[in-house]
């Protein structure tokens, strides 16, 4: 027993069919995926911006750190360079893992029958 539309064609039932036939439901699936990806990107951008913005402001407000040296380099530079790289790596790693999870959940939705 197969469901058919008014013209005798098989009506799309699965998300994969909805996407392939570019139906309104398929558009909803794609729009939700794009919204989730945009939200993830904006949160990563906000985290990067906060790191880039807060550390220099904090160092500007603490000028004494320019006068203190560690291995001939001002402590302010150490505080700018050393913490940023692990934090950027961590944010990038979290972003990549979450983006992969979003893609995988979308693939699972499309694979479902």
Q: Is 19 contained in some domain?
A: yes
pLDDT of residue 54: 84
Q: Is 1 contained in some domain?
A: no
For residue 72, give the DSSP letter: T
13-67 tens-digit pLDDT: 666 555 656 666 667 777 888 898 999 999 999 998 888 888 878 888 888 887 8
Q: Which of 13-17, 26-30, 90-94, 109-113 has the highest mean pLDDT?
A: 90-94
87 to 20, 49, 83: CA distances (angstroms): 40, 12, 6
Tell the residue number behind the tokens 């906060």, with chain if given. 50
H/E stretch holding 73 reads strand 73-74
Residue predicted with more confidence, 101 or 6: 101
Q: Is 53 contained in some domain?
A: yes
Domain that holds residue 65: 15-111
Q: Is 97 contained in some domain?
A: yes
């Amino acid at each position: 027993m197969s469901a058919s539309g008014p013209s005798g064609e098989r009506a799309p039932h699965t998300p994969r069919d909805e996407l392939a036939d570019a139906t309104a439901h398929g558009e909803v699936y794609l729009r939700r995926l794009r919204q989730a990806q945009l939200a993830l990107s904006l949160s990563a951008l906000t985290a990067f911006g906060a790191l880039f913005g807060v550390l220099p402001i904090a160092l500007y407000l603490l000028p004494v750190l320019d006068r203190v040296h560690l291995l001939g380099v001002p402590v302010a530079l150490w505080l700018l360079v050393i913490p940023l790289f692990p934090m950027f790596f961590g944010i990038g790693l979290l972003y990549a893992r979450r983006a992969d999870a979003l893609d995988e959940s979308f693939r699972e939705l499309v694979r479902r029958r």
